[in-house]
Chain A
Amino acid sequence: MLELAVQQVVNGLLVGAIYALMAMGLMVILGILRIINMAQGELYMLGGYFCYVAVVMLGVGYFPAVILATLATAGVGMVIDRIAVRPLLRRPFYMVFLSTFAVSMILENAAELIWGPDPQTIPSPFSPVPIIIGPIFLTTQKLFIFAAALLMIGAFAAFLRFTRVGMAIRALARDRDAALLMGIDADRIQSITFGLGSALAAAAGALLGAMFNVYPTMGQLPLLKGFALVVMGGMGSVVGVFVSGLILGVAEGLTAGFLSTGYVDLVAFVTMLAVLMVHPEGISQWGKSRA
């Protein structure tokens, strides 16, 4: 009993770190640019497929493939921003919701046409032999994913905090007009932010794709869970989103272990709705000042 709990908590932490990575990409776009990017799940999917293409078709090694996939998807994200988001900024905000929803439909269908509806496997160099520490079973792959997610989230947080571009992103988030008056090139910063958000999603997709296969609809659930985390963690807070991700991972792990595997995906939404009922504006007190 206890052993199962420990195992599920550890699994939950590993999955939670990936959730956090995915949500981080959404957070920069939703929490900072105040744009609902419904195509974020498809960017996650593209990260997975690009990695697959690089490894299987181009014969690149797995680790460089992850980086290539991340960069390529960042480019796609910037194109989406240019085509489907920026022209609509002065229109009602639901227009961007709809246009990115359209992009999401297009990308998902395109992936199905190109790579087929069946799941594809990304061959990875990790040994399938589990590491056993006391009652816990781990694989090197899981540990690698966890470490990579932590590293990327840390690097992202440092980027936001310590670089000039990061500062410009935060300024734009706080007060767009004031930022413009200070001479910040909003278009360029938005483009960079979109690229970053897409890269984070793609990295999550490439890492998890190697563990769970890649398929056209793989982005839907991470998108929805990402929303839940961004809202729970407080829009715009790296720490809040990260902690929420870990909590969600653990809660799901325990639900799967002790309650029901069918309802696991409900955990995120029920928690989010509960948080919103208490704080209808999200836990915004957490966020802004710490981003």
Chain B
Amino acid sequence: MPKARIWLLGLLALAALPALTPNAYVQYVVNSSLILAFATIGLNVIFGYAGQHAFGFPVFFGFGAYASALLAMDGGVPVPLAILLAALVTGAISAVIAVFAFRLRGIYFGVGTIAFGYVIYIVAQNWVDLTRGPMGIPLVPPLYLLPNGASAIINRDTQTRIAVVIAIGIVIFLLDRLLRSPVGRAWHAVRENESLASSLGISPLRYKMAAFVLGAAISGLGGGFYAHYVSFVSPTELGFHYIGVVFIMLIAGGMATLPGPLIGSVVFGVLPELLRVAEMARSLLLGLILLFCIAIVPEGLTGIWKRLHPTQRQRSGLAEGAPSPLSTESTGGIEPPATETGELRVERVFRKFEGLTALRDVNFSIRSGEVVGLIGPNGAGKTTLFNIIAGSMAPTGGRIAYCGDEIGGRPAHDIAARGITRTFQITSLFPELSTEDNIRIATHLRSCREPLAILSRSARFRTIEAALDRKVDDIFKLVHLEHARDLPAAALSYGDQRRLEIALALATGAGLILLDEPAAGLNAEETDELCTLVRRLRSSGYTVILIEHDMRMVMNLCERIIVLNLGQLIFDGPPEAAAADPTVIKAYLGTESADA
């Protein structure tokens, strides 16, 4: 059965089944659970998909409740409109918070979001003129969608539930489209490996902000429904208690899945009521459920389902396929770079760390289409230079220009967009994602990222996506990784992982590729294959700079060699001359000593 139909049936059941019981309490429990699902879905966007540990996030649900209640009561806005506006207001305030919160990292970010949540709570308690203070807002007008006469036939509980289910359906439909687009892929990328994401042209901050604001708006929408359903809003809705409840629903339902939050919300909203445990012990019970979930089923209810029903694709992916033999017949030329190529100029570049000068007055330029080797003893500053060119680090002095534009000190994703990308000395991939998804993420810069085109699946969007799918196929052929298409990157052999890294660099479409020790740990055959690939890149118009300790490879491949020693450029010229240059020999072998 197609997924869309399962969803439709599920949502229909949620909307219709509770109406069969005359028990008003059951209806109330189901409705509140469904309304809380918005908070869970919102948290899933930031926590599950974008991987940001925003512990205080559930506060936006209460914020939306306040916003909608006040808009309807003090602003005189009609209730349905107030609910929608509440989502917008919540999104807007979350954007302000996000600007500050994303300055923090790791544990501090988590603690910071809790602090922001608590600030909102205290303000709601004390800004009596606006919020009516600790006593809360009573008599919030209810949501009626049907004219008065019809409300006699279909009661308010049912009306609200139908509205809520429709809204959930729309949210999930649009979220699904977003997830299967460059936006969703960018969230995964940022969650798995932020620095790699930015070197592939994805701005981590932009996508984290987008997830934060979108998640908050979805939570706020739910808050709006809540306020008009229970007709009462108080600071409790902003309190600590909600954090636990919403997290249980998310974790127990299944993080980073579409149905997870909805299933979690319904099951863990209804379950405590069904068990008829005294109202008094609710937190105790929820706490035990949360502990149990963490210990036994960290992947949640949807995870159990997946464990029992592995999909066909995953199974076939596990079949061990032999890598295709080294192709000597080159399948035509490689597609030329997608971005403008030009000269890279490094002028008087310095990089100082506390008490240490890693780069001192480095000058060189690289013409379009060259293959240049960057060599030097350990600690010479080679990787620092790569970091500076690719934007993971700013120079402390000097300038760097590409195609005539100053790029020194710009962020990595911006430099990638200008056509410079890199690989890392220590293998850097999106380990949990499949090889195919890894490469697909790397096509980010060439993808169509307009929100409206994504959500409406416009013709332009579909054409570009189809073209990128073919592009991914081409790259698979180029690096001989077809056998590993569905395997997670972490499961690949070391040699295949290094190939995948180069595949990612190629998928960006960048014209200047920085390879940081690409042959380290490869066997002779793999190294030869790598050399062939680099040569083919050059003949297709790419520029390559590589840091390498394998001298045979450097001598074979590079038409020019730059030698760094102790942060200074000591040689720039053809490989044969480098091998004979006395300063280079001295840097590598040290001064001749008597007891040699």
> Would you call A84 an interface residue if the criterion is a C-beta within 8 Å of the partner chain's C-beta atoms?
yes
Give the Cβ gap from B119 to chain A, nearest Cβ, in Å: 5
Given contacts A97-B55, A273-B116, A277-B103, contact A266 B283 (CB under 8 A): no
Chain A residues within 8 Å of B365, by CB = none
Chain A residues within 8 Å of B125, by CB = 262
Contact A113 B281 (CB under 8 A): yes
Number of interface residues of A (CB under 8 A): 44
Quick one: which of B111, B283, B291 contacts A84, CB cutoff 8 A? Answer: B291
Chain B residues within 8 Å of A101, by CB = 243-244, 247, 287, 290
Contact B287 A103 (CB under 8 A): yes
> Would you call B105 an interface residue if the criterion is a C-beta within 8 Å of the partner chain's C-beta atoms?
yes
Given contacts A106-B284, A109-B282, contact A263 B111 (CB under 8 A): no
Give the Cβ gap from B304 to chain A, nearest Cβ, in Å: 18
In Å, the complex CA distance between A102 and B119 comes to 23
Q: In residues 1-54 of chain B, which contact A (Cβ within 8 Å)? A: 47, 53
Given contacts A94-B53, A105-B284, A276-B103, contact A99 B290 (CB under 8 A): yes
Contact B108 A231 (CB under 8 A): yes
Give the Cβ gap from B286 to chain A, nearest Cβ, in Å: 6
Binds B, one of A85-93, A120-128, A144-152: A85-93
Chain B residues within 8 Å of A276, by CB = 103-104, 108, 112
> Would you call B122 an interface residue if the criterion is a C-beta within 8 Å of the partner chain's C-beta atoms?
yes
Contact indicator per residue, chain B 98-133, by CB within 8 Å of chain A (1) or not (0): 001001110110111011101100110110000000
Chain B residues within 8 Å of A110, by CB = 284
In Å, the complex CA distance between A113 and B110 comes to 31
Contact A102 B294 (CB under 8 A): yes
Contact A227 B53 (CB under 8 A): no
Secondary structure class of chain B's binding surface, majority of residues = helix
Give the Cβ gap from A108 to chain B, nearest Cβ, in Å: 6
Contact B288 A280 (CB under 8 A): no
Give the Cβ gap from B193 to chain A, nearest Cβ, in Å: 14
Contact indicator per residue, chain A 234-274, by CB within 8 Å of chain B (1) or not (0): 00000000000000000000000000101101100110110
Quick one: which of A93, A102, A220, A277 contacts B288, CB cutoff 8 A? Answer: A102
Q: In residues 244-285 of chain B, which contact A (Cβ within 8 Å)? A: 244, 247, 251, 280-284
Chain A residues within 8 Å of B103, by CB = 276-277, 280
> Which residues of B does A touch, CB under 8 Å?
47, 53, 55, 100, 103-105, 107-108, 110-112, 114-116, 118-119, 122-123, 125-126, 240, 243-244, 247, 251, 280-284, 286-288, 290-291, 294-295, 298
A-B pairs, top 5 by smallest CB distance, nearest first, are A105-B287, A106-B287, A262-B126, A109-B284, A102-B290
A-B contact pairs, 23 of them (CB 8 A): A34-B107, A36-B107, A93-B53, A93-B107, A94-B55, A102-B244, A102-B287, A102-B288, A103-B291, A106-B287, A106-B288, A106-B291, A113-B281, A220-B240, A228-B115, A231-B108, A260-B126, A269-B119, A270-B119, A273-B100, A273-B115, A276-B112, A281-B108
